[in-house]
Structure 1
Amino acid sequence: MGRRTKHVSFGTVVILALSAAALYFSGKTYVYRALFYNFAGIDDNLIFEERIIPAGEPQPWPLGSNYNQRPLPGEFKHKQQQLKAAALLVICHDSIRQEHYWEGYGPQSKTNSFSVAKSVVSMLVGVALKEGKIKSVDQLVADFLPEFKNGGKEKITIRHLLTMSSGLDWDESYSNPLSMTTEAYYGDDLKALINRQEVETEPGKTFYYKSGNTQVLAHILEAATNMKLSDYAATRLWQPLGAEQAAEWSLDKKDGTEKAYCCLYSNARNFARLGQLYLKNGIWHGDTIIDPAYVKASLTPTGLKDELTGAKGDFYGYQWWLIPQYKGLKVFYARGILGQYIVVVPAKEMVIVRLGEKRGEKVGMHLQDVYDLIDAGLGVCK
């Protein structure tokens, strides 16, 4: 028995050594880091290089007269604790009505936005359109990125990227250590990874959620504005919206490229400003930050069917998720893979932010979490 145990142990070591060598010679050394950290987390700004998004003149949120006075439903609170919520914020009619923190996090704690950042990139596209840096959402990607001038990529437009219909071959998986998403998260050369994409289906035909689309949008923004994505976000969004603390955006390496499809770190109060800006149709305290026409377009269903499920195209706009009708209300929201949400219910002038480590079950193209958050918010905003 002892000899056999030793033999198996030695064989395992040999296999691991050969696998490590194969990864090294294939150039996929990012897998070492992916396996070490096991899965992406909300505090990963501690392990990556970051670019700071400085705050400007702060504009603190007012507290409502009934701040934290309406108790949240016990079942809802219990579920939030089960899903390891870090923060919950409910804003009604421009003031904070509910604010709760768990797991040792607080009002100034910065946690990972994950794919909520996709909606932020869409907002920055709207800013660039307003400034004339981008002519139209139907402008070709190749006008900005020479690598898109051939191989079928010359047909791809900014609209195709915004609507997740580019047809590019990106495999969307954090759990697969060899996927492009994992390489984007743990690797150190986003631009090379993006340029490696090839067209696998005709652009503009079907919806297929792929983080690579957002990353390409970020490279377009850099080319169009001649600014780093974080710097553009700071001067066009973060500071005009009166964020009270600086944010961070993870980079692929020191002084490198932002992981635009994810990894914007901030807190619930500051993320809420993004939802509030869209609630107000791109206008903040009388200043037009984003053209209302773009806001409207970005919250209009694409009509594209989901390539994986065949779901009808009423669930997505320009990097924003859409619920056309829930209890007679229209809802739009940004979402991240571990239960990060900015939920906006225009008819109730309500913005809900939830941050945390886990999310609940999927219901069609959406998640039960979102419906739970809306119901809780409606109870608060009576």
Structure 2
Amino acid sequence: MALKIGLVAAGLLSAVAWAATALLGVPNPIILVALTVLEPSAVEPWFARRPVPAAATPRVLPVRLRPILDPVPWKGGRVSLAEMLAATHTNALLVTQNGILVHEWYRPGFDGATRFPSWSVAKSVVSLLVGQAITKGQLAETDRVSALLPDLRPDLRDTAAFGRITVRDLLDMTSGLAVPENYDPWDPLVGTAGMYLTRDLPAFVRDHARLSSRPGSKGQYRSIDTEVLGLILAEIQGRPLADILSEQIWKPMGAEAEATWNLDRPGGTEKAFCCLNAVARDFARLGLMVADHGRVGATRIVAPGWIERIETPARQEVDGWPYSAQWWHVPNGDEDISAIGVYGQYVYINRDTGTVIVKLSDHGAEQDEADTLAVMLALARDLARPGPTARPSPE
């Protein structure tokens, strides 16, 4: 009898949990529990996704392996590169110099065919797509969100937040939207966690048209800014963000593998602020394209003016760091820039030394970023010095 009552109670509790998550518009209880224990690199299959087809003929990435700096500077001392990678829970490290892959390492269980989640590296990819739209005259930095997405608040277009926020505000994280960064799956209804888990991203954006500061007045990291940019791109081009990426960047740059972009629900909207999943070498190709002023070989993909926009720090810093058009500027560096994901994802670009570094990790949220970038700067500067003869790859 007690067992029967227990089973009934468990069944009722399960039914209530499923009904509650459906009512709140967040994933079912199984997914919510899974997200509390999964490594950040393992989340792709737990959400709907849209393919980003690759090039029919991938562009060859030359490989000539050579030694790289070891040991490396770390937190005021020096440690072996392996120790630093272990300490930051690294799954992949790729280093290129002058367009050539000189170092490629994967943690056991990962390899060149593994698709890695970008997390907020996707924000920097969205920037490139916005730059393309501006170059084509489809968009201007002075355009207001309400004019581009009238369905967000058509009844309050002149007075609501989206009537005051411009594309430039979104790009430079100065929108002032009151959606705090929160990455805790145990608190799935607050801020960015709520946006990550919602099954209706347009509705989430529409329902969070509130300001915490005047647009343009203060730099605050807000993932919702990038999501709005993604909605704008899909609206003005009339097709999903994943399709835009495939046709305008992924195929032209010669990506070797199909990527995916996670959605809020099957057939729904891309999580533009995160969740682009790709192999490590294609993240490297992306960085190489930016490093070459938006070109891949003779093919112009992004206008040089947009690359210059990215490389020119915006007037407002974002949370104390130089920032511009969804890209971070490395403090005290060589005018180097980086796309950065919350769990230790990096596409680092140092044009002075001809270096691009991709690091994909399962590290703590927003942890050790300055120290990690200092390692990348040291690697880049060391590669630029005359060194040992490269070892040709067996590939």
Same fold (TM over 0.5): yes
SS at match of 1:98: strand
Alignment of 1:160-175 (within 5 A): 160-175=169-184
Cα pair 2:327 2:339 within 8 Å, conserved = yes
Cα pair 1:167 1:204 within 8 Å, conserved = yes
| 1:142-196 Cα shifts (integer Å, max 9, x gaps) | 2210125241320111000001111111121111322232222222111110111
SS at match of 1:243: coil
1:31 Cα shift?
7.2
2:183 alignment partner AA: Y
| Distance (whole Å) between structure 2 residues aligned to residue 158 and residue 213 of structure 1 | 9
- Structure 2 match to 1:58: 58
- Structure 1 match to 2:273: 261
Change (3 A) 1:226 1:26: closer
- Structure 2 match to 1:339: 344
1:46 alignment partner AA: P
2:193 equivalent to 1:191:
no
- Structure 2 match to 1:277: 289
Instruction: Give the CA RMSD over aligned residues.
Output: 2.6
- Structure 1 match to 2:190: 179
- Structure 2 match to 1:373: 376
Change (3 A) 1:90 1:381: farther
| Distance (whole Å) between structure 2 residues aligned to residue 206 and residue 157 of structure 1 | 14
2:168 equivalent to 1:159:
yes
- Structure 1 match to 2:327: 320
2:111 alignment partner AA: G
Cα pair 1:116 1:335 within 8 Å, conserved = yes
Cα pair 1:85 1:354 within 8 Å, conserved = yes
| Distance (whole Å) between structure 1 residues aligned to residue 361 and residue 34 of structure 2 | 22
2:41 alignment partner AA: I
SS at match of 1:86: strand
| Distance (whole Å) between structure 2 residues aligned to residue 196 and residue 28 of structure 1 | 13
- Structure 1 match to 2:149: 145
- Structure 1 match to 2:27: 30
1:123 Cα shift?
0.5
Unaligned 5+ segments in structure 1 are: 1-8
Q: Which of 126, 129, 132 is equivalent to 1:124?
A: 129
Change (3 A) 1:139 1:106: same
| 1:320-346 Cα shifts (integer Å, max 9, x gaps) | 0002532xx221000001100000011
Cα pair 1:279 1:349 within 8 Å, conserved = yes
Q: Which 4+ residue blocks in structure 1 deviate beyond 6 angstroms?
A: 16-19
2:48 alignment partner AA: E
Cα pair 1:31 1:186 within 8 Å, conserved = no
- Structure 1 match to 2:242: 230
1:232 Cα shift?
0.5
SS at match of 1:261: coil
| 1:74-106 Cα shifts (integer Å, max 9, x gaps) | 622112123221110111011011111103111
Cα pair 2:144 2:162 within 8 Å, conserved = no
- Structure 2 match to 1:295: 307
- Structure 2 match to 1:5: none
| Distance (whole Å) between structure 2 residues aligned to residue 272 and residue 24 of structure 1 | 38
State how many pairs are aligned.
361
Cα pair 1:85 1:356 within 8 Å, conserved = yes
2:298 alignment partner AA: G
Unaligned 5+ segments in structure 2 are: 1-5, 72-78, 386-395
SS at match of 1:347: coil
| Distance (whole Å) between structure 2 residues aligned to residue 109 and residue 96 of structure 1 | 18
1:106 alignment partner AA: D
1:182 alignment partner AA: A
- Structure 1 match to 2:263: 251
Change (3 A) 1:157 1:62: same
Cα pair 1:325 1:331 within 8 Å, conserved = no
Cα pair 1:163 1:316 within 8 Å, conserved = yes
Cα pair 1:62 1:94 within 8 Å, conserved = yes
Identity %: 30
